[in-house]
């Protein structure tokens, strides 16, 4: 007995317009004299959760076919997935099979809460989904359909509809698809544009349609002649570094000079070169490359001066205007949400004074109450901008601040710890350097990061000397990045203590 | 104002004799009600039948023309109680709510209604929220029909069948003086299709006419001795009458050959999945012509013994496809076979799983297992001895993250839970009970607040054991929907009467938001046919609450946190109720966005706020996300070899609610967030003044630029 029913499922994230897409498909099939049935699950699932729409159709006959109300594993002809992990979910549920399924999917990501909330990098691996899609699908169209649609001022449902037309998996002409959009009567112009864009992208040979390669980072530097000469001298010195770390060192150099000045850049290079002298060329200078990265991050710490400096720059204002699509006909206001903690304010004081105050809880409390208030700063206004500008200008004063003294000491202690494992425990030294990744954020978050960093270093001290010490150090760091409170880290440390 | 408008679709409800209706299941049900001359309709919204209430609300003009009364009942109990109109009067009435939770709430009225019996057809249209997409505990409504003796229909899931069941349901109800529950599953409510329509019929007797000529009949009252008579009446008269009607009018259906070694008994709602399974086994075609006989129970309670035994004649084995647990139907059929001394083998839950949705694959597996055992000759060779040559597809179960529903972009409840999380960081963890509604998403990451829900409007009541207070106070959460549904008496009244030393937070988002934005008593919007604008705080005062804090802008996280702290630490030892009010953003945007677009077009001054993150200031620790979970607040990877972790980023869908900035401020997080207000059509003076500011700012920026090196890609 023959099976002429076409089965099509749409998997989307609530709010992506899966319903609109389903309506188009259904209307098109009906217009082409097909018997068709669509179903969906409304309810709370529409609130940003994963949703499925399902359509079955067959040429109209004397009798109505018996249609199913939900897709079944191994029995889907066309699967449209409006997001990369929903593509993965479709494959996981068996809706994409090599014997029959045309998979039309968008490679863009809408991150799930679990991916976003991880303190480290919790973003799911899209490459695994891509690899699985290539195996599971009979025909595959996998493109950034979101970008294609947004690029022409529309939404993803339209570009996916275009790709569906291009796939040739439904027995309808392109014009039938476009008629369905027109018949729906809602923002037909942008929808048709996105439809065409999706159609063309899906028709393009795979090579061309792939995501364009990112432009190499422009090495542009601007400034007065004297400053440029100083910069070029530093770059010249950096060019003498072994090739495997040169790019990283140049990036680091840019960051610290941008943070402070040329002289500070030389301090950076000195640090890197000191590590280099202790490094092992046989290990491809991994240690120095990692040091070049994390020393730059450590030296360009996030103090109030840096925040004010970054927020008051011309290119920042320009960037905000672009992001917010501000035209010359608009006026833009910018409100900053500043809430410095007492520690950050005391950090601006001269080193000795700052240290004394920080040791006095009474004073810290007082300063917290006096200055550590929440400030909404309208940085597009003259008084607020002037404040930011002044604060950013304290750059010249920075190297004498209490915060700088703290950061310098922390940097030295950290590098000394790494060095102490050389030359015998090279891999462990590299892991010590990499642990610096844990120090980030402002106020409490910063304090929490530092405490995790300290705990990891304590753990490292416990395992040092073991053959698998570097593995453990790596595991500790990954654990520290897994959750906010450090439960995973505590667990890992517990394990270490049990055998050390 | 409901989330989805059916104003355009309800015009199709006017179709008459010989026209063709094309649309969704819920509209087909509504059309069928009108064709059947229904006299009054009502119900309570809840997935999957929320939209049926929306359709009825949008169809009020048409209902009015026909003389049909529409009531948006306060709860499922109120809806079921409304069917009392059909006890004494020959008026057809229909109410709708979800099952089984709605039936739980309605069970008191349903039991009374069933005992009294009905004169006019009484129909409960039940959206059974079971299986994928369900938002409630997984149970069956079936048991209610059995315990109270009302009839349960579960029609095949296509529009003509569903429509026919509405008509048959009324007739069955009238023929047996018993209310009928018409069950539609999640997907059936929104399944699309067509059927031939008939003219709408005004009720033979309208509720207005009935009021003019009131009737009473003492024998319907549930007091002894009548209650004993009712029970006897149920089994001796109503039940046999129902059986007779079901058989004579062929409510159940049979498909396939008369003679076959095996057969399948299936709930109507499962029929399509069974046919699909048989298709995949090569035993049926796409039109449902099957080689295996199928007995379709469009009425799943009561079961008809003679009809069933006739079906079993000559069959060696039967498979019962019955979704959910326990297997009421299978047990009932088994006892029928046993009493009849039949040798036919009965299979069901031994071939299919006891619990969980019967999806296509599960039914296919069950059919295969059954046929392999009972009639292997029927199975195609491929199934009997499959070639194990399938392609290995990589396992993505560890890769793909779960994606439960959560608060929408700009949701006013997000800052409430952010504040609650902050106050818990300060004062330690508390006993927190949740309720039904959008706010239950607060129990999911990133907030993970609250761990229980005992029923609609029962949040504070579920903390009653802790009302005596202690070192810390118990907190409960209740939505405005739950408050008016049941919460005012069962939860708040309970707190007042028992001198509760607990804290209750009432989340007032102006609508019954989780079910699609229907109005409730405290809704702010004007509603032509309903009375709105009754403040929750007035109701609280009315039942004697003394400590009330009304927050009119939930986005003020600092204030929210301070109020929570006050409630948890104050010396006052009576009930402390916080009403946190801000409009559901989904509804607000739906209303305001078009107006804003028009205003911009017309040249009026419009200020559009949106948030952004300075990616060079953001350090990528994601603390902000752990206090938000907003869909528009996501992450992006920077093209910077020095950065390991992705940084926060806000996309175009941001509605500028302010939660990001407030949370960064209240939690002293980081200065990365900014709000940009883009002013469209600014006035002349405003434009001039902005120019002055800009020239001041750019001159200072130029001054600094001259004195330093600039690395556009570092800070860009």
Question: What is the pLDDT averaged over residues B659-672?
Answer: 88
Same domain assignment for residues B292 and B233: no
pLDDT exceeds 90 at position A205:
no
Nearest to B462 by CA among B477, B481, B440: B477
B57 contact A CB<8A:
no
Alpha-carbon distance of A414 to A408, in angstroms, equals 10
Of B243, B369, B391, nearest to A134 by C-alpha is B391
Range of the domain at B277: 253-380
Q: B429 at the A interface (CB within 8 A)? A: no
C-alpha closest to that of B525 among B437, B602, B587, B453: B587
User: Please, how many CA atoms are within 13 Å of residue B134, restricted to the half-sphere of its CB?
Assistant: 19
Q: Is the peptide bond before A14 cis (omega within 30 degrees of 0)?
A: no
Whether A210 shows a pLDDT value over 50: the answer reads no
Look at chain B and count its residues. 716
The residue to which tokens 């699932």 are assigned: A45
Q: What's residue A45's pLDDT?
A: 43
pLDDT > 70 in chain A, percent: 95
Token reading at A168: 């040739």
Q: Which range, of A335-349, B107-121, B240-254, averages the lowest pLDDT?
A: A335-349
Q: What are phi and psi of B154, to 5 degrees?
A: -140, 75
Q: Is there a single domain that holds both residue B422 and residue B546?
A: yes
Are B68 and B197 in a shared domain?
Answer: yes
CA angle at residue A484 from A480 to A489, to 5 degrees?
A: 30
pLDDT of residue A53 exceeding 80, the answer is: yes
Q: Which residues of B touch A110 (CB under 8 A)?
A: 631, 634
pLDDT confidence of residue B389: 60
Note whether B669 contacts A: Cβ–Cβ < 8 A. Answer: yes
Give the distance from residue A500's alpha carbon to the nearest chain B alpha carbon, in angstroms.
30
Q: How many CB atoms lie within 10 A of CB B14?
A: 15
In a domain, residue B404? The reply is no
Low-confidence winner among B187-201, B541-555, B663-677 (lowest mean pLDDT): B663-677
Give the pLDDT band (50/70/90) at residue B713: low
Cβ-Cβ contacts under 8 Å between A and B: the total is 404
Measured CA to CA, the distance from residue A187 to residue A17 in angstroms comes to 13
Residue A451 CA neighbour count, 13 Å, CB half? 11
Q: What is the pLDDT of residue A2?
A: 43
In this structure, the answer to whether residues B646 and B570 fall within a common structural domain is no
Q: Sign of dihedral through CA atoms B246, B252, B258, B262?
A: negative
Both tokens of B286, joined, read 């796409």
pLDDT of the residue at A212:
46
Residue A386: list chain B partners with CB under 8 A.
700
Return the minimum-mean-pLDDT range out of A12-21, A263-272, A320-329, A452-461.
Answer: A12-21
Say how many residues make up chain A. 500
Name residue, tokens 């049935």: A37
**Rounded alpha-carbon distances, angstroms, from residue B556 to B426, B559, B607, B663, B675:** 18, 5, 20, 9, 15
Separation in Å, CA of A435 to nearest CA in chain B: 11
CB-count burial class (<10 Å; 0-12, 13-18, 19+) for B287: middle
Same domain, B444 and B559: yes
- Taking only the tens place, the pLDDT of each residue in B451-475 is 789 999 999 999 999 999 999 999 9
pLDDT of residue A214: 46
Would you state the pLDDT for residue B590?
A: 87
Tokens of A449: 């990061």
CB-closest option in A39, A40, A217 to B639:
A217
* 8 A C-beta contact, residue B460 and residue B502: yes
Residue B711: the pLDDT is 87
* pLDDT band (50, 70, 90) for residue A219: low
Q: Which helix (H) or strand (E) holds B633?
A: strand B633-636
> With an 8 Å Cβ cutoff, is B471 touching chain A?
no
pLDDT tens per residue, range A10-33? 998 877 888 899 999 999 999 999
Q: Is the pLDDT of residue A218 over 60?
A: no
Indicate the pLDDT class of residue A369, thresholds 50, 70 and 90. confident
Q: Which residue of chain B is at minimal alpha-carbon distance from A245?
A: B641
Any A CB within 8 A of B456 CB: no
Mean pLDDT across A405-433: 96
Q: What is the ipTM of this complex?
A: 0.93
- Residue A476 CA to residue A455 CA, distance in Å, equals 9
Determine the distance in angstroms separating the CA of A493 from the nearest CA of chain B, rounded to an integer.
21
Alpha-carbon span B665 to B558, nearest angstrom: 8
Question: What pLDDT sits at residue B4?
Answer: 79
Of the candidates B272, B621, B708, the beta carbon closest to that of A67 is on B272
> Is B403 domain-assigned?
no
Phi and psi angles of residue B404, each rounded to the nearest 5 degrees, phi first: -70, 160
Q: Is the peptide bond before B446 cis (omega within 30 degrees of 0)?
A: yes
Each as own residue / partner, the long-range contacts of residues B310-316 (CB below 8 Å, 24 or more positions apart, any chain) are B311/B254, B311/B263, B311/B265, B312/B263, B312/B337, B312/B342, B312/B344, B314/B259, B314/B260, B315/B260, B315/B261, B315/B262, B315/B263, B315/B344, B316/B261, B316/B262, B316/B344, B316/B345, B316/B374, B316/B375
Dump strand ranges (E) for A227-338: 331-338
Put simply, the chain B residues between 125 and 184 with a CB less than 8 A from any chain A CB are 129, 132-133, 135, 157-158
The CATH number given to whatever domain includes residue B56 is 3.40.50.970
Report the pLDDT value the prediction gives residue A374, as an integer from 0 to 100: 82
Q: How crowded is residue B218: how many other Cβ atoms within 10 Å of its Cβ?
A: 7
Q: Does B408 touch chain A (CB under 8 A)?
A: yes
Q: CA-CA distance, A485 to A314, in Å (whole number)?
A: 38
Q: How far apart are CA B587 and CA B579, in angstroms?
A: 20
Report the range of poorest mean pLDDT among A215-219, B65-69, B417-421, B498-502.
A215-219
- C-alpha to C-alpha distance for B208 and B482, rounded to whole angstroms: 32
pLDDT-based confidence at residue A208 (cuts at 50, 70, 90):
very low
Whole-number pLDDT of residue B360: 94
Residue A485: count of CB within 10 angstroms of its CB: 9
- Of B587, B620, B636, the one marking the end of a domain is B587
Q: Tell me what the mean pLDDT of segment B496-516 comes to.
A: 95
Say yes or no: B290 and B237 in one domain. no
Enter the tokens of residue B179: 């209310």
Helix ranges restricted to H, A378-423: 382-393, 402-420
Strand-strand pairing, B606-613 and B503-508: unpaired
Min Cα distance A166 → chain B (Å) is 26
Terminal alpha carbon distance of chain B: 45
Same domain, B50 and B89: yes
Q: Label residue B716 by pLDDT band (50, 70, 90).
A: very low
Contact of B8 with chain A, judged by CB distance below 8 Å, is answered with: no
My answer on whether B232 and B91 are in the same domain is yes
Res. B247 pLDDT band, cuts 50 70 90: very high
Cβ-in-10-Å burial (0-12, 13-18, 19+) of A212 comes to: exposed
The answer to whether position B599 is within a domain reads: no
Between A469-480 and A443-463, two packed helices, what is the crossing angle to 10 degrees? 160
Residues 259-318 of B with CB under 8 A from A: 271-273, 275-276, 279-280, 282-289
Distance CA B574, CA B469 (A): 10
Beta bridge partners, B22, equal: B194
**B668 domain-assigned:** yes
| Phi, psi values for residue B594, rounded to 5° | -65, -40
Residues of A in contact with B48 (CB under 8 A): 41-43
Spatial contact of B43 and B49, defined as CB atoms under 8 Å apart: yes
Residues of B in contact with A228 (CB under 8 A): 709
Q: What is the percentage of chain B residues whose pLDDT exceeds 90?
A: 87
d(CA B270, CA B519): 35
Q: Are residues B370 and B454 in the same domain?
A: no
Question: CB neighbours (10 Å) of residue B325?
Answer: 14
Instruction: Give the confidence band of A348 by pLDDT, cuts at 50, 70, 90.
Output: very high
Is B431 contained in some domain?
Answer: yes
Beta strands B633-636; B647-650: pairing state:
antiparallel
Note the pLDDT tens digit of each residue in A108-124: 999 999 999 998 899 99
Question: Residue B445 — φ and ψ, nearest 5°?
Answer: -60, 145
A6-13 and A50-59 as β-strands: parallel, antiparallel, unpaired? antiparallel
Phi, psi of B72 (to 5 degrees): -90, 95
Structural domain total, chain B: 4
CA of A443, closest CA in chain B: separation in Å?
Answer: 7
Please tell me the predicted confidence (pLDDT) of residue B715: 43
Three-state DSSP at A102 gives: strand
For the cut 50, the answer to whether the pLDDT of residue A216 exceeds it is no
Q: Which residues of B touch A331 (CB under 8 A)?
A: 678-679, 682, 686-687, 690
Contacts of A36 (CB under 8 A, 6+ apart): A26, A29, A30, A55, A56, A57, B192
Quick one: B228 and B257 in the same domain?
A: no
- Asked if A135's CB is within 8 angstroms of B641's CB, the reply is no
Shortest Cα–Cα distance, A351 to chain B (Å): 24
Query: B198 with B269, same domain?
Result: no
Residue among A1, A5, A85 whose CB faces B400 most closely: A85
Which of A25, A30, A116, A393 is the best mutation test for B, with the most CBs of B within 10 A?
A: A116
Nearest-CA distance from B500 to chain A in Å? 32
Residue B34 shares a structural domain with residue B129: yes
Is B127 inside any structural domain? yes
Supply the CATH number for residue B295's domain.
3.40.50.920
Which of chain A's residues have a Cβ under 8 Å away from the Cβ of B614?
310-311, 316
Q: What does the alpha-carbon distance between residue B83 and residue B470 come to, in Å, rounded to a whole number?
A: 46
Mean of per-residue pLDDT scores for chain B? 94
What are the pLDDT digits (tens) for A112-169? Answer: 999 999 988 999 999 999 999 999 999 999 999 999 999 999 999 999 999 999 999 9
Assess contact for A498 and A464: CB atoms under 8 A.
no
pLDDT of residue B3: 73
Domains of chain A, CATH where assigned: 6-209 (3.40.920.10), 415-500 (no CATH)
Of the candidates B122, B98, B114, B126, the one whose C-alpha atom is nearest the C-alpha of residue B36 is: B122
A331 to B682: CB separation less than 8 angstroms, yes or no? yes
Instruction: Enumerate the residues of chain B whose CB falls inside 8 A of the CB of residue A296.
Output: 642
Cα–chain center distance at A222: 28
Give residue B383's pLDDT band: very low, low, confident or very high (50, 70, 90): confident
**Contacts (Cβ under 8 Å, ≥6 apart) of A44:** B47, B135, B405, B438, B514
Q: How confident is the model at residue A209 (pLDDT cuts 50, 70, 90)?
A: very low
Strands A78-81 and A6-13, sheet pairing: parallel
**Could B713 and A220 be called an inter-chain contact, meaning their C-beta atoms sit closer than 8 Å?**
yes
β-bridge partners, B42: B71, B95
Asked whether the predicted pLDDT for residue B326 surpasses 80, the reply is yes
The CA-CA-CA angle for residues B614, B618, B619, to 5°, reads: 160
Alpha-carbon distance values, A428 to A124, A151, A242, A332 (Å): 28, 47, 22, 51
Tens digits of per-residue pLDDT, B37-47?
A: 999 999 999 98
CB B42 within 8 A of CB B70: yes
Chain B closest CA to A442's CA: distance in Å? 5
Considering B533, B558, B587, which residue would you say is the last residue of a domain?
A: B587
Which chain B residues are within 8 Å of A450, Cβ to Cβ? none
- Cβ(A397)–Cβ(A347) below 8 Å: no
CA distance B294 to B370: 14
Last residue of a domain, one of B587, B622, B642: B587
Q: What gap in Å lies between CA A276 and CA A240, rounded to an integer?
A: 12
Cβ atoms within 10 Å of A173's Cβ, excluding its own:
11
């Amino acid at each position: 007995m023959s099976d002429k029913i076409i089965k099509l499922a749409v998997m989307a994230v609530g709010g992506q317009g899966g319903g609109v897409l389903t309506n188009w498909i259904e209307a098109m099939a009906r217009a082409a004299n097909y018997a068709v049935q669509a179903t969906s699950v409304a309810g709370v699932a529409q609130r940003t959760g994963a949703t499925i729409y399902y359509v079955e159709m067959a040429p109209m006959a004397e009798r109505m076919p018996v249609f199913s109300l939900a897709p079944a594993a191994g029995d889907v002809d066309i699967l449209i997935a409006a997001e990369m992990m929903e593509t993965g979910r479709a494959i996981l549920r068996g809706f994409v099979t090599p014997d029959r399924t045309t998979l039309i999917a968008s490679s863009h990501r809408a991150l799930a809460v679990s991916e976003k909330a991880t303190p480290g990098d919790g973003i799911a691996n899209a490459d695994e989904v891509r690899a699985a899609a290539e195996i599971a699908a009979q025909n595959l169209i996998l493109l950034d359909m979101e970008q294609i649609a947004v690029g022409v001022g529309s939404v993803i449902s339209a570009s996916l509809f275009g790709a569906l037309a291009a796939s040739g998996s439904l027995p309808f002409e392109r014009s039938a698809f476009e008629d369905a959009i027109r018949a729906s009567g809602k923002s037909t112009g942008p929808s048709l544009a996105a439809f065409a864009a999706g159609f063309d992208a899906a028709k393009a040979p795979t090579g061309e349609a792939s995501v364009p390669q990112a432009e190499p980072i422009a090495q542009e530097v601007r400034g007065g002649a004297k400053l440029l000469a100083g910069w070029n001298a530093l770059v010249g010195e950096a060019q003498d570094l072994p090739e495997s770390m040169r790019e990283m060192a140049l990036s680091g150099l840019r960051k610290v000079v941008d943070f402070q000045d040329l002289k500070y850049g030389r301090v950076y290079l000195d640090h890197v070169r000191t590590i280099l002298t202790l490094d092992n060329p046989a290990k491809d200078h991994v240690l120095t490359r990692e040091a070049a990265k994390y020393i730059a991050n450590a030296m360009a710490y996030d103090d109030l001066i840096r925040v004010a400096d970054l927020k008051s720059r011309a290119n920042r204002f320009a960037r905000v205007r672009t992001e917010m699509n501000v035209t010359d006909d608009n006026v833009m206001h910018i409100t900053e949400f500043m809430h410095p903690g007492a520690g950050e304010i005391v950090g601006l004081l001269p080193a000795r004074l700052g240290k004394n105050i920080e040791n006095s809880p009474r004073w810290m409390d007082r300063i917290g109450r006096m200055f550590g208030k929440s400030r909404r700063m309208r940085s597009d206004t003259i008084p607020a901008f002037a404040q930011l500008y002044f604060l950013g200008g304290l750059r010249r004063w920075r190297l004498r601040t209490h915060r700088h003294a703290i950061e310098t000491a922390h940097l030295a202690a950290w590098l000394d710890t790494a060095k102490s494992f050389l030359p015998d425990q090279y891999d462990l030294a590299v892991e010590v350097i990499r642990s610096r990744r844990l120090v980030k954020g402002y106020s409490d978050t910063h304090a929490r990061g530092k405490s995790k960093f300290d705990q990891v270093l304590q753990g490292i001290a416990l395992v040092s000397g073991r053959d698998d010490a570097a593995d453990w150090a790596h595991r500790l760091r990954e654990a520290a990045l897994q959750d906010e409170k450090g439960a995973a880290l505590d667990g890992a440390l517990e394990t270490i203590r049990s055998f050390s | 104002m409901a989330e989805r408008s059916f104003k355009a679709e309800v015009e199709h409800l006017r179709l008459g004799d010989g026209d063709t209706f094309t649309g969704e299941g819920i509209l087909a049900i509504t059309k069928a009600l009108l064709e059947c001359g229904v006299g009054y309709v009502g119900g309570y919204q809840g997935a999957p039948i929320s939209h049926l209430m929306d359709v009825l609300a949008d169809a009020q003009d048409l209902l009015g023309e026909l003389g049909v009364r529409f009531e948006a009942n306060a709860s499922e109990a109120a809806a079921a109680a409304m069917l009392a109109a059909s006890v004494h009067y020959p008026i057809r009435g229909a109410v709708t709510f979800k099952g089984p939770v709605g039936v739980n709430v309605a069970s008191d009225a349903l039991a009374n209604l069933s005992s009294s019996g009905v004169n006019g057809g009484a129909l409960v249209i039940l959206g059974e929220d079971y299986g994928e997409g369900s938002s409630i505990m997984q149970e069956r409504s079936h048991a209610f029909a059995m315990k109270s003796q009302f009839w349960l229909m579960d029609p095949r899931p296509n529009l003509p069948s569903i429509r026919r069941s509405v008509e048959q349901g009324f007739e069955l109800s009238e023929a047996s003086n018993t209310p009928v529950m018409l069950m539609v599953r999640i997907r059936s409510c929104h399944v699309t299709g067509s059927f031939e329509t008939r003219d709408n019929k005004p009720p033979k007797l309208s509720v207005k006419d009935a009021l003019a000529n009131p009737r009473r009949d003492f024998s319907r009252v549930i007091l002894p001795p009548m209650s004993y008579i009712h029970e006897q009446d149920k089994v001796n008269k109503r039940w046999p009458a129902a059986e007779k009607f079901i058989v004579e009018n062929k409510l159940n259906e049979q498909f396939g050959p008369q003679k076959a070694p095996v057969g399948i008994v299936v709930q109507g709602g499962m029929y399509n999945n069974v046919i699909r399974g048989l298709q995949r086994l090569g035993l049926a075609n796409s039109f449902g012509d099957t080689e295996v006989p199928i007995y379709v129970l469009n009425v799943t309670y009561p079961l008809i013994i003679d009809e069933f035994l006739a079906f079993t004649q000559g069959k060696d084995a039967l498979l019962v496809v019955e979704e959910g647990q326990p297997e009421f139907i299978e047990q009932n059929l088994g006892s029928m076979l046993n009493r009849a001394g039949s040798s036919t083998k009965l299979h069901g839950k031994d071939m299919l799983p006891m619990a969980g949705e019967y999806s296509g694959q599960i039914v296919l597996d069950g059919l295969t297992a059954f046929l392999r055992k009972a009639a292997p000759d029927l199975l195609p060779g491929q199934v009997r001895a499959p070639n194990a040559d399938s392609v290995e597809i990589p396992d993505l179960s560890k890769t793909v993250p779960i994606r439960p529903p959560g608060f929408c972009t700009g949701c006013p409840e997000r800052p409430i839970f952010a504040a609650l999380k902050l106050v818990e960081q300060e004062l330690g963890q508390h006993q927190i009970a949740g309720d039904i509604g959008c706010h239950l998403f607060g129990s999911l990451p990133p907030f993970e607040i609250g761990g229980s829900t005992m029923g609609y409007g029962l949040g504070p009541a579920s903390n009653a054991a802790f009302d005596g207070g202690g070192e810390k106070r118990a907190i409960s959460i209740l939505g405005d929907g739950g408050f008016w549904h049941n919460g005012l008496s069962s939860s708040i009244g309970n707190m007042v009467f028992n001198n509760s030393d607990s804290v209750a937070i009432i989340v007032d988002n102006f609508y019954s938001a989780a079910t699609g934005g229907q109005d409730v008593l405290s809704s702010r919007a004007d509603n032509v046919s309903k009375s709105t604008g009754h403040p929750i705080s007035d109701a609280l005062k009315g039942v004697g609450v003394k400590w009330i804090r009304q927050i009119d802008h939930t986005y003020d996280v600092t204030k929210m946190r301070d109020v929570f702290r006050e409630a948890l630490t104050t010396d006052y030892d009576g009930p402390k109720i916080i009403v946190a009010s801000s409009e559901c953003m989904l509804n607000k945007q739906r209303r305001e966005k078009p107006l804003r677009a028009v205003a911009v077009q017309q040249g009026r001054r419009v200020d559009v706020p949106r948030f952004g993150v300075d990616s060079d200031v953001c350090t990528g620790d994601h603390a902000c996300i752990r206090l938000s979970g907003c869909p528009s607040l996501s992450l992006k990877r920077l093209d910077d070899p020095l950065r390991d972790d992705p940084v926060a980023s806000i996309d175009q869908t941001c509605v500028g609610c302010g939660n990001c900035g407030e949370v960064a401020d209240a939690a002293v997080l980081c200065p990365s967030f900014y709000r940009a207000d883009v002013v469209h059509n600014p006035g002349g003076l405003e434009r001039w003044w902005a120019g002055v500011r800009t020239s001041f700012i750019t001159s200072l920026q130029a001054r600094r630029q001259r004195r330093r090196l600039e690395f556009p890609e570092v800070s860009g």
